[in-house]
Structure 1
């Protein structure tokens, strides 16, 4: 019967366990509910969706855009989208609120404003765009963790943007019943195992009891002949003693009393011997009973230990709390190891209270005590070891990602290539501005006069980049690029004036081949625009640009001691000296009023400075009749309208200069690049 009970308990436990697991897996009920957004109060050309509409922790990272017709989805940082939207009418979707029962609602709000906006499709603010048609299942995937990300939906800036959405919400499953079934099933299996071993032990015990009864019957049969032999031995001993006593009395009357005592002692010894013979007779069955009794105890202990071990193994395998208990014991272990140290400290305090001098501390103990007594010591060690401390309030990051900058440069390079091919500066206005546009326009004009005046193409291979981290406008970037057909890299400066304007090329300077640009990547933070007149680095940017420009034309200028030497500067100064030597009777001087300047602070405290000048090279004959030669042909000849003159003359040019100004006092300024183009020649007749 016990075997049947164990089998029934095991089968029922296994069934309950399987049912509980099945309800958590294959037989789990469907708990997903489709939640639709309510219609907005008005129509708008833009729809903004924040990242709060998804919840990756609950596996809700997909939603459906319910729309008809063609529209565009743009991904960008939330601040950039808000800056672009500004005062435009738009629908804002901030969240999906779950009710905890498998339902929820969309947080949709209509904000009034401009009903028509420029087409946002080509904006540089977007990290990625996708144009689609009809309903779209969108899975949220932010490029990185820098800042908050959002989506903006639009058509052409005039038509209403999509504003209907659906998502699936999964309710929390009630796992109480499956867990109970799993626990009961595990207990049933354990009970079945215990009953099975109990049945085996009971059957074994029954066999042993039957063996003991058989052994007792055999022992009783062997015990009766032994008792008869003992009685006969006692009687013979008594007769022998009496005969011996009589003989002794007849032989010596004087020793009668002694003989009687000896006979009595002999009779007593005989009786003791007989009794001893009776008690020392141990039947073989009794020995077997004793041995079997010890074996029974061992066997019973063995099956008990075996059943307990089996039950413990199954319980550990099925119990989810085993790991938790093991972890708690592991957590308590360090506290137990620290207890001796606390006891030692308590003993030392007690010794000091009693006036005893504490024992000399070990060096390691002294270091630990010093670390405890020094405020902030633990925090300093933690920071040096790389242990994360308190997070900063804000984390700086570039306003552009790599893909954005690459796309911007490709667009700029394409526009510039189109303008260069046509020789039309008006084609550049969408992507080129400032000094870069002026220089390009001069290049187109000069190239019609001289073939050597063709401008350098714009490269798109990024070698290094410093992009501002501030979210305010204007935004700037200084980028080192390389064109496949150019021998030297270029230093480009890009600037974005407002959110709805794109980045434009404002400076393009050929890089000094011996210069080293700071190793920065597009997404590095800590770069910010500073005022050119601020003393952020060793020198203010505008002062450094002006005085370095003077040094480039005059090797003896004092500011040269602060400028790092290079072969490029030496060649430029040598050319200026050759101009002077070729006209010994003409005085050459320069004026360079600073036209514009910009500066970017780098993470190490140094500054990148960019400046441009409308420079004038003044040529003044020292005596009457001295001539200024412009050459028989070429650009200067065409601009001057003559090959020479004895009157005063000015050669006007546009110059650009880019510097790296160090933060440390003992470091020198590095000239990254210089650009020069003649704009006009004036003769004062």
Structure 2
């Protein structure tokens, strides 16, 4: 019966093991989840959000196929949607059976420019006919897809996710199969043991008795002697006939009878090893071997209990919907205009473009990365350098590390970013760079560049991941209104202590006032070469509006510019006013009896205290720059 039960258990175990293995092989689910776009669109762009891409776990593989060029870019949600603007586009969603469906968003159908090259993108992928890339698109980011600029977006978009196949029956089936296998082995061993005890078929364990041994046993039987208690072993000596009468015991009360059939035990020779010494170790007993055979499947079954939860029913925790709560101050504030990684790309490209434009005097190239006062100064510099090799080029973009980065907190446009960048030559003063992006489809352009004044400390600002807010020109949150600061300081440079605004600004450490302030102007009037001329200065507003970002103390860093014109006219009739090299080229004359006007652009970076600053706090000049802007003959 035990043989039958063992056979049945073995069959059951094989069936269960086969079913369990099939769960992970030919019955296993697919390794990926595939979503295929099944409809075309007339829109020029397809937008896929991070929420859509994260509906399945794992890193996504995106494949886009089209007849022409294919472009895919990744950026933050507000950046992508800002670039799309009011243009007609399609938003991809996961529909039934994980198919990609499109929701059309109506808008302007004007041809769109290429997505490539924007400063806002985190990744860019392009190809001809086909693009494939892997990405882990998080929530808060989106992907925009474009074909040939101006044409409809590609209709063949495929997204794949790795599928961590859940086979909850694998663990129970394999475990049950191993348990039945162990049971079958136990039953088989028990049946075999019982069969041997019932003197079933066994192997021979000794050789045939010799003729002399059989005769001795027969004589003993006839003499009425009992059979030996132990079997005759092959190693025992042949039994010889003995005289029983002489050796038979006469006293029944003596010690226990001696087994005459057993050979006499001789004492061991001197120096011979004792019993059990010098013997080879015995092999494992049959009981141990049987225990090992049964333990193997049992241990395997126990080991399976440590498998991952995907192999057991109910192994995955139930998903509960939670409302996300902000975990840091960064999550409660508007996003920064530019990340550190994005600014590094902007700065590097600006360095290359400006260096090439300065070398070639290419204003069109300079317009790619400069605007406002910086571009105006280069326009004049390129013009005069084209006429004279003696004119030096303007200061380039520092080639050192970024010492400070302060992006604006905003999701809209225009956007402002301030940075302090050093030179590799540490002896050179650091520069403050102020970039501005006027529109989502425009690049960041350098608007202000000022050299930090020696010994002046830049106010503490927030980290690049937090950024700073901007303020309107008429804000009451600062000690002085920003739209009044620029021309007030220009008046101080001309009139000095006589200016009604002199108390607004800190004179100590103001290197710009030392260079071109009223004291310097008075020195120019006193020079002999200007004895027969009249010198006068007047200031005017620049077209570029001031840009500002808030500091940690509630004040602001204010970048602004204005123009200051020096007019030199003859004091007497017949006196000629000579023009210097740069102004002479711009004015078209080297000397004039009517006089020469030279206009200079002055860029200044101010640290403006907050409205609740302690008494005595003043506006401080942090950095400045001056360059020739224009020259003309008076009249």
Distance 1:321 1:146 in 2: 31
Aligned residue number for residue 61 of structure 1: 60
CA separation of 1:499 and 1:391: change in aligned 2, threshold 3 A: closer
Q: Once superposed, what is the RMSD of the aligned Cα atoms? A: 5.2
Structure 2 unaligned regions, length at least 5: 199-252, 254-294, 310-324
Secondary structure of the residue aligned to 2:126 is strand
Aligned residue number for residue 504 of structure 1: 445
Aligned residue number for residue 661 of structure 1: 608
Secondary structure of the residue aligned to 2:379 is helix
Distance 1:321 1:650 in 2: 87
Secondary structure of the residue aligned to 2:152 is coil
Distance 2:76 2:65 in 1: 23
After TM superposition, list the pairs within 5 Å mapping 1:420-499 onto structure 2. 420-423=358-361, 425-447=363-385, 448=387, 451-459=390-398, 461=400, 463=402, 464-482=404-422, 487-499=428-440
Distance 1:7 1:669 in 2: 97
Secondary structure of the residue aligned to 1:117 is coil
1:600 aligned residue (549, 552, 560): 549
Aligned residue number for residue 565 of structure 1: 509
Answer yes or no: is the 8 Å Cα contact 1:630–1:640 preserved in 2. Answer: no
Answer yes or no: is the 8 Å Cα contact 2:555–2:607 preserved in 1. Answer: yes
Secondary structure of the residue aligned to 1:405 is helix
Aligned residue number for residue 48 of structure 2: 49
The two structures have a TM-score, normalised by structure 1, of 0.60
Aligned residue number for residue 121 of structure 2: 126
Answer yes or no: is the 8 Å Cα contact 1:54–1:140 preserved in 2. Answer: no
1:154 aligned residue (147, 153, 162): 147
Aligned residue number for residue 38 of structure 1: 38
Aligned residue number for residue 405 of structure 1: 343
Shift in Å at residue 154 of structure 1?
A: 2.8
- The more displaced of 16-25 and 399-408 is 16-25
Secondary structure of the residue aligned to 1:181 is helix
Aligned residue number for residue 25 of structure 1: 24
Aligned residue number for residue 672 of structure 1: 622
Kindly provide the CA deviation profile for residues 460-505 of structure 1, in whole angstroms up to 9, marking residues without a partner as x: 6551332223111111222334566994443222222222333233
Shift in Å at residue 108 of structure 1?
A: 1.4
Shift in Å at residue 657 of structure 1?
A: 0.7
Aligned residue number for residue 610 of structure 1: 559
Aligned residue number for residue 170 of structure 2: 178
Distance 2:399 2:139 in 1: 25
Answer yes or no: is the 8 Å Cα contact 2:372–2:448 preserved in 1. Answer: yes
Distance 1:439 1:314 in 2: 80
Aligned residue number for residue 77 of structure 2: 78
Shift in Å at residue 132 of structure 1?
A: 0.6
Distance 2:47 2:308 in 1: 49
Kindly provide the CA deviation profile for residues 67-108 of structure 1, in whole angstroms up to 9, marking residues without a partner as x: 222222222223222222223333331x22354xxxx32121
Q: Does 1:652 align with 2:596?
A: no
Aligned residue number for residue 229 of structure 1: none
Secondary structure of the residue aligned to 2:467 is coil
Shift in Å at residue 162 of structure 1?
A: 0.7
Distance 1:170 1:497 in 2: 41
1:106 aligned residue (86, 100, 106): 100
> Paired residues, what number?
516
**Larger CA Rg, structure 1 vs 2:** 1
CA separation of 1:443 and 1:29: change in aligned 2, threshold 3 A: same
Structure 1 unaligned regions, length at least 5: 207-224, 226-308, 324-386
Answer yes or no: is the 8 Å Cα contact 1:549–1:657 preserved in 2. Answer: no
Distance 1:668 1:391 in 2: 31
Shift in Å at residue 406 of structure 1?
A: 3.6
After TM superposition, list the pairs within 5 Å mapping 1:284-683 onto structure 2. 317-319=303-305, 394-423=332-361, 425-447=363-385, 448=387, 451-459=390-398, 461=400, 463=402, 464-482=404-422, 487-517=428-458, 523-551=464-492, 556=497, 558-559=502-503, 562=506, 565=509, 570=514, 575-576=520-521, 578-579=523-524, 581-582=526-527, 590-595=537-542, 596-602=545-551, 605-617=554-566, 633-635=580-582, 639=587, 651-663=598-610, 665-666=613-614, 669-680=619-630
CA separation of 1:315 and 1:514: change in aligned 2, threshold 3 A: same
The two structures have a TM-score, normalised by structure 2, of 0.65
Distance 1:516 1:507 in 2: 19
Distance 2:588 2:66 in 1: 66
Answer yes or no: is the 8 Å Cα contact 1:91–1:163 preserved in 2. Answer: no
Shift in Å at residue 613 of structure 1?
A: 0.9
Answer yes or no: is the 8 Å Cα contact 1:154–1:161 preserved in 2. Answer: yes
Name the one with the larger helix percent: 1
Q: Does 1:141 align with 2:90?
A: no
Distance 1:560 1:391 in 2: 34
CA separation of 1:427 and 1:200: change in aligned 2, threshold 3 A: closer
Q: Relative CO higher for 1 or 2, CA cutoff 8 Å, sep ≥ 6?
A: 2
CA separation of 1:682 and 1:166: change in aligned 2, threshold 3 A: closer
Secondary structure of the residue aligned to 2:95 is strand
